[in-house]
Amino acid sequence: MPPATRPKVRAVQTVTIKSTPIDGQKPGTSGLRKKTRVFMQPGYLENFVQAIWQGIGGPKGKTFVVGGDGRFFNDSAIQIILRMAAAGQATRVIVGQNGLLSTPAASHLIRLRGTDGGIILSASHNPGGPDEDFGIKFNMANGGPANETLTDRIFAATQTITGYDTLQTPDIDLARLGETHLGDMVVEVVDPVTDYAALMETLFDFDAIRGWFQSGHNMRFDAMHAVTGPYAKEILERRLGAPKGTVLNATPLPDFGGGHPDPNPIWAKPLVDMVMGADAPDFAAASDGDGDRNMILGRGVYVTPSDSLAVLAANAHLTPGYAAGLVGVARSMPTSGAVDRVAKARGMACFETPTGWKFFGNLLDDRRITLCGEESAGTGSNHVREKDGLWAVLLWLNILATTGQSVTTLLADHWRAFGRNFYSRHDYEAVDSDTATDLMNGLRAKLATLPGQSLSAGQIVDADEFAYDDPVDGSRSAGQGLRVMFDTGARLVFRLSGTGTEGATIRVYLEAFTDDPARFGDTPETALSAIIDSAETLMPIKSATGRKGPDVTT
């Protein structure tokens, strides 16, 4: 059936609103994130959208994708963006029904429809609500997050803004599929799931996964009352035949049901408790607010994101979309070296990039890599230019269905083949910004003196501040985190995170390696105890902040 159409909106009037620069609108690795009430201030969102228009050379004659994770203010923000796009003479804006689009689905839609980019409204894994967090970012025509050159232009525009254009019109009905007009601009409301689900069917053996369910295997997927609920219901329960109820917390809510939509053992504890219980499912997974992160679990086992990336890299060739093999892999610098060992054994290129998905974009576009991932539960491939939580879950399901192995057996076989990288991340959240800066500067100042010193984790063989030279465009990204490497294969990384909205988050990444099969069964607490002790010696976070331990451990 052709899409439904609605009458053209009449009597529109373009209005120019005078404005002045607003401090603090510098986009981070994932766009601009602030408290929701900050974005709700008159002119705040409008200023940043105008800066986006200036950064990309204006919206005139262009087509964009717009959508978000459904968090509080998502619907109102979209109406603002639509009016400003129409006032700027954009040709068309494609919007997910009810304003919903997962981040990977938005990336796919940008690529599928050949648009000039898209605006995604989300604060990812951060809580939602009037007193919680909101975010906005621009994705480029390749479907990936804006690169540093563009974000620098956008930030520069926020500092010189004098006004913005908008329309005085009623809100567009985003619940109704089809086309309508806002002034001379076409607004096309599309089902947010259909195109994404069709893409997944081209990558994975749905018959094999369907057979896995039919043979009696079961799983649980926790959508955390976030955007992946409708996607998981359609793909897992309808297309793959998983029993009704497989998808938990499937309805997207503006406040994520009062929860914290971060798929890790802390915020998704009920799911972790379920897999550790007597009636555990064979497989379990969760995704975050905007659908780009994932947590993988098996019966009685939690799979770290670093291990998940390595296992997927070793087994992706078992699925239709990756049957030809991987041309290369990439990981963010804080991610463990587990995938490096797979790449070396398989003769694949392996790249180490700064944190932030945009750094994978050039490698994917230049066809240097097929698979990539971050330790913060993000995994993806060349099918889109964003990390993709549900895609990772389907890749795991396809591998389980093809091999007939359990998650536990698959992990054990992987460690026997490549060794085990024990890994954890300790987050100290909302630390006073000056204190956090002082701690980082203190370690930075003594990096050159560390090699040769012995700590609990072994002798330090190298210490530096990571910088990345992009092999595709030659750009350099400095100041990406402090690294300390030990002769035992252990490693420590310290970073200040840019994804929070209050104070500073200090992230400490802890890694220890063993190729001794007798130690593969060690608990992470045992395996990482020496590196944890060394971390506090190098950066005394607990004594400086008065805290007994990290706020979040993953």
Query: Which residues are known catalytic residues?
Result: 124
Query: Position of tokens 């599309």?
Result: 190
Longest dimension (CA), the chain: 76
Quick check: helix, strand or coil at residue 138?
strand
Query: Position of tokens 């190298």?
Result: 462
Q: Which residues lie across from 120 on neighbouring strands?
A: 67, 137
Euclidean distance between CA atoms 312 and 326, whole angstroms? 11
| Crossing angle between the packed helical segments 407-418 and 389-403, to the nearest 10 degrees | 90
| Crossing angle between the packed helical segments 148-158 and 44-55, to the nearest 10 degrees | 130
Contact 232, 428 (CB under 8 A): no
Q: Where are the beta strands (DSSP E) in 112-241?
A: 118-121, 133-139, 163-167, 178-182, 185-190, 219-222
Q: Is the dihedral of CA 18, 24, 27, 33 positive or negative?
A: negative
Helices within 215-357 (DSSP H only): 228-232, 269-275, 305-315, 338-346
Q: Which residues lie across from 512 on neighbouring strands?
A: 422
Provide the 8-state DSSP code for 204: S
Number of Cβ within a 10 Å radius of residue 462 = 13
309's enclosing H/E stretch is helix 305-315
By DSSP bridging, strand 92-100 and strand 219-222 are unpaired
Euclidean distance between CA atoms 139 and 423, whole angstroms? 31
Quick check: helix, strand or coil at residue 286?
strand
Contact 347, 354 (CB under 8 A): no
Euclidean distance between CA atoms 381 and 369, whole angstroms? 8
Euclidean distance between CA atoms 231 and 103, whole angstroms? 12
Length of the chain: 554
